[in-house]
């Protein structure tokens, strides 16, 4: 509540000089707030551009040495791994997700051997990169079935934990999967493996470039509205978060980011739990193309990231992480 009035009260006084603006700054952004997503492809010495995401590439595992060294150098605390599974390794049940020699598993082992615990590894838990239908779970009669899918997700989570994944990130939106995954991890003595639940994941129109990147976009014959949230809803997000916390989530994700700043703020205020935001592929591409075409300038990147912090996000998954980290100071 503002007390006082003009002219004795002048809010512009503290805005006049740079040093003064820094003193009264309410939100801060550093490299420690960023998580860098990496897309993986099979082969050697390959770096394949993603057309719908300018400046973002799919990499073979041998590129990870240089990339992760750069991540650590820039003080980014964690990377997130996403595979582009070859068509011949996809099937309706996402069997490749349970292969200890799939792209993600091989990447985890490579990174852990090279860098030990100097960087965190976040792994997506969902079946969409591995299925021929592009959905996050098993499909029966054109419907993604919940409980049978969870059984596969538990196995996928346990496999990734065995490989050395630090943070499991179920993005599938099946009811009850957090509790089942946590129970399985604890039963198998993976007490320290963290769960970052995509508790609030909307059926959004901003995911297109990501689906191009992992090769699921053209496979989808229907939308994901039967399991992802309706973007008209707000209170439902609190119910989703409450359930996942009760089941054992250490952190929660809100996805997408910019269109849902109100949700980030609401979740943070209600639960006081670490809340992460995902600046998704569509958000990235809109900003990147806006800069490329000189519609906006590069400072829009910092502005967009700062909006997440202002809303209450503890960290941000963003494709801008490497480029922007060098401009930030811890």
User: CATH number for the domain including 232?
Assistant: 3.20.20.70
For residue 184, pLDDT beyond 90: yes
pLDDT tens for 236-275 read: 999 999 999 999 999 999 999 999 999 999 999 999 999 9
Q: What was the pLDDT predicted at 217? A: 72
- pLDDT of residue 32 exceeding 70: yes
Q: Is the residue at 27 inside a domain? A: no
Is pLDDT above 60 for 316? yes
**Is 38 contained in some domain?**
yes
Residue 200 belongs to a domain: yes
Q: Tell me, what DSSP letter sits at residue 92?
A: T
pLDDT digits (tens, 9 = 90+) for 45-96: 999 999 999 999 999 999 999 999 999 999 999 999 999 999 999 999 999 9
* CB 171 within 8 Å of CB 146: no
pLDDT tens sequence across 266-290: 999 999 999 999 999 999 999 999 9
pTM listed for this prediction: 0.95
- Give the whole-angstrom CA distance, residue 215 versus residue 223: 16
State the residue range of the domain holding 314. 32-325
For a pLDDT cut of 70, what percent of the chain falls above it?
99
Please indicate, yes or no, if residue 23 is contained in any of the structural domains: no
Q: At what angle do helices 146-163 and 103-115 cross, to 10 degrees?
A: 30
pLDDT at site 2 = 66
pLDDT over 90 percentage in the chain: 90
Q: At what angle do helices 235-247 and 261-271 cross, to 10 degrees?
A: 50
The three-point CA angle 155-255-288 to 5° equals: 120
- The CA distance from 132 to 45, in Å, is 27
**Domain annotation covers residue 300:** yes
Q: pLDDT band for position 222 (50/70/90)? A: confident
Q: What pLDDT digit, counting tens, does each position of 112-168 carry?
A: 999 999 999 999 999 999 999 999 999 999 999 999 999 999 999 999 999 999 999
Highest mean pLDDT among 4-8, 144-148, 205-209: 144-148
Q: CA 311 to CA 34: how far, in whole Å?
A: 15
pLDDT at 1: 67
DSSP character at residue 230: P
**Domain total of the chain:** 1
Predicted confidence at residue 200, as pLDDT, reads 98
pLDDT computed for residue 330 by the predictor: 47
Q: Looking at the domain assignment, is residue 18 inside a domain?
A: no
- The pLDDT value recorded for residue 328 is 85
Residues known to be catalytic:
201, 255
> Among 11-15, 177-181, 242-246, 289-293, where is mean pLDDT lowest?
11-15
Beta strand 34-40 with 315-317 is parallel
**For residue 287, with 0-12 CB atoms within 10 Å meaning exposed, 13-18 middle and 19 or more buried, which class applies?**
buried
The answer to whether residue 20 sits within a structural domain is: no
Question: Do the domain assignments include residue 227?
Answer: yes
Q: Are 275 and 252 in contact (CB under 8 A)?
A: yes
């Amino acid at each position: 509540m503002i007390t006082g009035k003009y002219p004795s009260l002048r809010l512009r006084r503290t805005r006049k000089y740079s040093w003064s603006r820094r003193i009264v700054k309410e939100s801060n952004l550093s490299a420690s707030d960023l998580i860098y997503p990496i897309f993986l492809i099979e082969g050697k010495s390959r770096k394949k551009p993603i057309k719908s995401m300018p400046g973002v590439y799919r990499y073979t595992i041998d590129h990870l040495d240089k990339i992760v060294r750069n991540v650590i150098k820039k003080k980014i605390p964690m990377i997130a791994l996403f595979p582009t599974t070859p068509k011949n390794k996809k099937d309706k049940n996402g069997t490749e997700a349970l292969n200890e020699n799939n792209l993600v598993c091989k990447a985890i082992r490579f990174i852990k051997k090279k860098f030990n615990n100097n960087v965190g590894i976040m792994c997506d838990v969902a079946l969409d990169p591995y299925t021929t239908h592009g959905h996050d779970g098993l499909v029966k009669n054109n419907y993604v079935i919940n409980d049978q899918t969870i059984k596969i997700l538990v196995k996928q989570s346990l496999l990734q934990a065995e490989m050395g994944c630090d943070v499991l990130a179920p993005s599938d939106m099946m009811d009850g999967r957090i509790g089942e995954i946590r129970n399985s991890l604890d039963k198998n003595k993976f007490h320290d493996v963290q769960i970052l639940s995509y508790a609030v994941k909307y059926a959004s129109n901003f995911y297109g470039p990501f689906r191009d990147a992992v090769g699921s976009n053209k496979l989808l014959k229907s939308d994901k509205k039967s399991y992802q949230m309706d973007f008209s809803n707000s209170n439902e997000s609190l119910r989703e978060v409450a359930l996942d916390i009760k089941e054992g989530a250490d952190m929660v994700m809100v996805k997408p980011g910019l269109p849902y700043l109100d949700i980030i703020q609401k979740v943070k205020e209600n639960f006081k739990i670490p809340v992460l935001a995902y600046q998704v592929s569509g958000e990235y591409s809109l900003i990147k193309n806006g800069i490329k075409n000189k519609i906006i300038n590069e400072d829009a990147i910092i502005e967009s990231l700062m909006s997440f912090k202002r809303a209450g996000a503890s960290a941000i998954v963003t494709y801008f992480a490497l480029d922007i980290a060098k401009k930030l100071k811890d």
